Amino acid sequence: MKAPMLSIVVPCYNEEEVFATTAHELSAVLQKLMKRQLIDSASSLLFVDDGSRDRTWSLIAQESSNNPLVTGVKLARNVGHQNALLAGLETAYKTADCVISIDADLQDDTTVIETFVERYHEGYDVVYGVRNRRDTDTVFKRRTALGYYWFMNKLGIKLVPNHADFRLLSKAALGELLKYKESNLFFRGLVPLVGYAQTEVYYDRKERLAGESKYPLKKMLSFAFDGLTSFSVTPIRFVTLIGFLAFLFSIVAGSYALIQKLTGHPASGWTSLIISIWLLGGLQLMGIGLIGEYVGKIFKEVKARPKYAIEQHIASEPKLQDHKR
């Protein structure tokens, strides 16, 4: 088999502190793989600057003029991790035979990239990087993640536990993945749906090299909720079920009250009345909110807005192509 052309896609948002180390370390990995003739010598790193407000883009541009392995794409504004990754994957798809996505902070072990490529040579189209342990994450993050995987699994959504967006995709698998045009991207949920020969490689996740997590709790929760409502209608069914049970209960309670009245023992007081009003009101609002969530999703999908805009592209031969109009 001819050595594949590999593209390592790295989304970066305000990563000036780690960029130099990341570029250096990943370049070393590429060189090693080229030496072993596991990848084509035209393989490269693709840094996607997701509208950073620090010097990230100028560092990428500077590095690419010194280091032929470095290419870059500058997005017109910050569109979030998943969309930035999409921009990188779509760009890489044009030239690469396989792609690996990895975060800029090097929390993922770059040495297993070699194993990824070996698996690719064995014939796998999708290789997931899976964290062995999550000691470097907070207890809270670990617990919530565990609960989340359990819950998603219960709803029948296939996720690879302890796998983030560190994975290899062959051109064939990537091509299929890119056909999923939904606007609420959740790659972790989509990749298992793509199929092809899939396998896992285990590694230890490290501390963030420097800088802060770009996923504060609020973003993490909304990401988790998006993942849930993009892949399952079970929550909405659950609300319907609760509504139905409440309806049954009111029929039973109503009949009871009627019988009591007919037999001369009318139920007194308005406590039960108020409680049921609050209960049903609450359930209804909750249900409407949940339906609204799905309707909002439909609204977003129907608009089908572009998910990113590429402002500049530094391709393999260091030349600056301006896509500005």
List of residues contacting ligand UDP (CB under 6 A)? 11-13, 15, 50, 78, 80-81, 84, 103-105, 107, 213-215
Question: Rounded to a whole number, what is the distance in angstroms from the first to the last CA of the chain?
Answer: 42
Nearer to ligand UDP, 146 or 285 (CB): 146
Instruction: For the CB of residue 86, give the shortest distance to Mg ion in the complex, in Å.
Output: 18
- Torsions phi, psi for 27 (to 5 deg): -60, -40
Strand partners, 208: none
CB 198 within 8 A of CB 125: yes
Nearer to ligand UDP, 217 or 259 (CB): 217
- Given ligand UDP, Mg ion, none, residue 50, with its beta carbon under 5 to 8 Å by kind, binds ligand UDP
Secondary structure class of 315 (helix, strand, coil) = coil
**Closest-CB residue for Mg ion?**
105
Instruction: For the CB of residue 144, give the shortest distance to Mg ion in the complex, in Å.
Output: 16
Q: Which residues make up the interface to Mg ion (CB under 5 A)? A: 103, 105, 107
Q: What is the C-alpha radius of gyration for the chain, rounded to an integer number of angstroms?
A: 25
Nearer to ligand UDP, 4 or 80 (CB): 80
Instruction: For the CB of residue 5, give the shortest distance to ligand UDP in the complex, in Å.
Output: 23
- Given ligand UDP, Mg ion, none, residue 249, with its beta carbon under 5 to 8 Å by kind, binds none
Nearer to Mg ion, 49 or 105 (CB): 105
Rounded to whole angstroms, the Cα distance separating 39 from 42 reads 8
- Given Mg ion, ligand UDP, none, residue 299, with its beta carbon under 5 to 8 Å by kind, binds none
DSSP-derived pairing of the beta strands 70-75 and 310-314 = antiparallel
- Torsions phi, psi for 133 (to 5 deg): -140, 160
CB 98 within 8 A of CB 126: no
Nearer to ligand UDP, 12 or 29 (CB): 12
Instruction: For the CB of residue 13, give the shortest distance to ligand UDP in the complex, in Å.
Output: 3
Query: What's 319's DSSP letter?
Result: -
- Given Mg ion, ligand UDP, none, residue 104, with its beta carbon under 5 to 8 Å by kind, binds ligand UDP
Nearer to Mg ion, 206 or 313 (CB): 206
C-alpha pair distances (Å), 27 with each of 23, 129, 147, 323: 6, 19, 37, 27
Q: Which helix (H) or strand (E) holds 201?
A: strand 198-203
Instruction: For the CB of residue 8, give the shortest distance to Mg ion in the complex, in Å.
Output: 16
Instruction: For the CB of residue 41, give the shortest distance to ligand UDP in the complex, in Å.
Output: 26
